[in-house]
A and B are shown apart, each in its own frame.
Chain A
């Protein structure tokens, strides 16, 4: 019986294709709004999430704003590494300068740090070695170049190690080249500085070049195990609190994984907000279906009367009209999802350099459920109206 009702519903939809399409349009637009918007935020937040994770989820970033006369020294970081739960610690200082190799001169961002930085930031070497503790202790003029720097200065990465170059007029020996990194930090820095190249030099050397004492303003710390990061943060906080006389304003600790959690919350709120707005357009689409179904029922009053006279029960009539509403909404949903897929791919044509948008499977599933729900809810009233018609009046109806 259901199969027959289904056939009847299909038949009456195909009998008036334009109207069926216009009815579906409301659902199609609603589905596109929901699927595209949520897929966009989903993909975008996924990318940001990945970038943040590439910075290292096992990482605390410390900024000292007021040293209270007791500045953090490189030795303090060495002591810190012996603390319980704390893994590695490395200072980081940034300055801008120029790197000159032969007649080739480039603007550069110089990072002064120590050996531990490599592991803290999950960086990889392409050639040579990273800075060693001995370089730092002995104030050696050695430099590790970023992949971009090696390429811009020497054309080929392999040629860089062992070369001498001038950094702000001082002669350095290149000891290593980092692998290409997709870290957002370096990418962002490169964009902001107009394509400046990067180089890492011993922390002590950088301080000396800038004529500063080796007071550490910024440093990174990892936990001995990623699962202990929260405990390591608490421990670090205790140590710094006692050092800076319980002044919480003297320093700040940033936890990347807590940043990730905040990001997560923000995306969820965004999704709910956008989904809610798009959901309203789906609701409007559902009302459109109900409207057309009501028109259809009154137009076909006589047909309903005939069907009832020859023995159609209320259930058959109900199913016929309910299925019609349901088919309209489900077809609208399918068309909407296909169009959403097309739209996302179109956006990808232009944006694929930076980000790839994917159709979010969960939002498609959720949309399908909502659409079916809407089809049933808004189809039920017209269908009941049809099913409950008095056959005598319906037969006499002159439409």
Chain B
């Protein structure tokens, strides 16, 4: 499903080279629930950006769903993100002027699906996160947990190859965080591939497989 081969990402800041990723290799199968854990500054975000097709590697190969993500243009990357990646952010990143329903519908609009198909997918996704009754509320009228559920529904609506969650519980209290994690377990059981990026050991332990990242290097954490 996901293969990284010797992926490096080098930023140049003020003439100084920074190796955010240094020859990172990993492989994730379909239907896996993987957590990537690392402290801040470890290259976590860079890894997520590359896996989420927001950025391309300086060197090495990234293969998503059998497709080599090479020197694509922004336009092509946008298409891949739209079709294959479901993003879930720490800060929810919902559009505040839109209702829950409209937020979930947005990626489907960019997929140019028909109105009836969009309606069907939105219903399905909201149902899956248990927010069908709140579909007409705006983000400001929803609790943090509910907002994150909307964000998950938005990620699910496009039926992506992977769900890429970046600290999804970071802005939530303990109890709500647990609820969201339960939702991820349910989604995993339903057959979704989930990559969860976090700095929280406790959260990462909930995944069936753990990958640690440190100073741009990745390594498998043996199951305890």
Residues in A lying within 8 Å of B, measured CB to CB = 1, 4, 11-12, 15, 302-303, 305-316, 388, 391-392, 395
Complex: A216 Cα to B34 Cα, angstroms: 113
Shortest distance between the CB of B145 and any CB in chain A (Å): 19
Is B67 an interface residue, CB under 8 A from the partner? no
Other contacts beyond A302-B93, A316-B110: 9, CB < 8 A? A1-B109, A15-B97, A303-B95, A306-B94, A307-B110, A309-B52, A310-B106, A310-B107, A392-B54
Knowing A313-B78, A314-B78, the reply to whether A307 touches B106 (Cβ < 8 A) is yes
Bits for B96-127, please: 1 = Cβ < 8 Å to A, else 0. 01100000001101111000000000000000
Interface residue? B158 (CB, 8 A) = yes
**A312 to B55, Cβ gap below 8 A?**
no
Task: List the B side residues contacting A388 at CB < 8 Å.
Answer: 74
Q: Please, which residue of chain A has its CB at the minimum distance from the CB of B155?
A: A310
B27 contacts A by Cβ under 8 Å: no
Tell me how far the C-beta of A398 lies from the nearest C-beta in chain B, rounded to whole angstroms.
10
**Residue in A11, A312, A395 whose CB lies within 8 Å of B78:** A312
A312 to B110, Cβ gap below 8 A?
Answer: yes
Please indicate the chain B residues that have their CB under 8 angstroms from the CB of A306 in the complex: 93-95
Smallest CB separation, A6 vs chain B (Å): 12
The answer to whether B74 and A311 touch across the interface, beta carbons within 8 angstroms, is no
Known pairs A392-B49, A395-B93; A311 contacts B81 (CB<8 A): yes
Question: Would you call B154 and A1 a contact (CB within 8 A)?
Answer: no
Those 7 A-B pairs whose CB atoms lie nearest each other, nearest first: A311-B82, A310-B107, A313-B78, A311-B110, A306-B93, A311-B81, A4-B109
Min CB–CB distance A116 → chain B (angstroms): 79
Cα–Cα, bound, A229→B89 (Å): 85
In the complex, what residue of chain B is closest to A316 when comparing beta carbons?
B110
Inter-chain contact total with CB atoms closer than 8 Å: 61
Query: Does B87 sit within 8 A of A, measured CB to CB?
Result: yes
List, in ascending order, chain A residues with CB within 8 A of B107's CB.
310-311
26 A-B pairs within 8 Å (CB atoms) are namely A1-B109, A1-B112, A11-B98, A12-B97, A302-B93, A303-B95, A305-B93, A306-B94, A306-B95, A307-B106, A308-B78, A309-B81, A310-B81, A310-B87, A311-B78, A311-B81, A311-B110, A312-B78, A312-B82, A313-B78, A313-B79, A314-B75, A392-B49, A392-B54, A392-B55, A395-B93
Q: Complex: how many Å from CA A370 to CA B115? A: 36
Q: Residues of A contacting B78 with CB < 8 Å?
A: 308, 311-314
Q: How long is the Cα–Cα vector from A392 to B87 in the complex, in angstroms? A: 13
Report the nearest B residue to A307, measured CB to CB. Answer: B106
Q: Which chain B positions have C-beta within 8 A of A312?
A: 78, 82, 110
Cβ-closest chain A residue relative to B92: A306
Q: Is the CB of B95 within 8 A of A311?
A: no
| Structural contact, B87 and A309, CB atoms closer than 8 A | yes
Give the docked Cα–Cα distance between A302 and B97 (Å).
13
Contact present for B154 and A310 (CB under 8 Å): yes
Instruction: Say yes or no for B83: interface residue by CB 8 A criterion.
Output: yes
B162 to chain A, nearest CB (A): 14
Q: A residues within 8 A CB of B75? A: 313-315
Closest Cβ–Cβ distance, residue B139 to chain A (whole Å) = 12
Minimum distance in angstroms from A155 CB to a CB of chain B? 76
Cβ-closest chain B residue relative to A7 = B109
List A contacts of B94 (CB < 8 A): 306
Residue of B nearest to A312 (CB): B110
CA distance A11 to B52 in the complex (A): 29
Q: In the complex, which residues of chain A have a beta carbon less than 8 angstroms from the beta carbon of B106? A: 307, 310
Known A391-B54, A392-B54, A392-B55: A311·B97 in contact at CB below 8 Å: no
User: CA separation between A21 and B52, bound complex, in Å?
Assistant: 40
**CA–CA, A316 to B107, complex, Å?**
12
Would A309 and B54 be within 8 Å (CB), given that A1-B112, A314-B75, A395-B93 are in contact?
A: yes
Chain A residues, CB < 8 A from B74: 313-314, 388
Q: How far is the CA of A388 from the CA of B82 in the complex (A)?
A: 17
Q: How far is the CB of B185 from chain A (nearest CB, A)?
A: 24
Q: Chain A contacts of B81 at CB under 8 A? A: 308-311
Instruction: Check B110–A313 contact: CB distance below 8 A.
Output: yes
Please, how many angstroms separate the alpha-carbon atoms of A133 and B15 in the complex?
107
Tell me whether A11 and B110 are in contact in the complex, defined as CB-CB below 8 angstroms, given that A314-B74, A392-B54 are known contacts: no
Residues of A near B83 (CB, < 8 A) are: 311
Interface centre among B54, B95, B109, by most A CB within 10 Å? B109
Q: How far is the CA of A4 from the CA of B94 in the complex (A)?
A: 18
Residues of B within 8 A of A308 (CB): 78, 81
Report yes or no: B54 in contact with A11, Cβ–Cβ below 8 A: no
Question: Could you tell me the distance between the alpha carbons of A1 and B82 in the complex, rounded to whole angstroms?
Answer: 15
* Alpha-carbon separation in the docked complex, A395 to B49 (Å): 11
Q: For the complex, what is the distance from the CA of A4 to the CA of B118, rounded to whole Å?
A: 13
User: With a CB–CB cut-off of 8 A, which chain A residues contact B55?
Assistant: 392
From B49, B98, B110, contact of A310 by CB (8 A): B110
A35 to B83, CA, bound (A): 50
Q: How far is the CA of A284 from the CA of B49 in the complex (A)?
A: 42
Complex alpha-carbon distance, A303 and B95, angstroms: 7
Q: Nearest Cβ distance between residue A197 and chain B, in whole angstroms? A: 74
Name the distance in Å between A307's Cβ and chain B's nearest Cβ.
Answer: 7
For the complex, give the distance between the alpha carbons of A315 and B112 in Å: 13
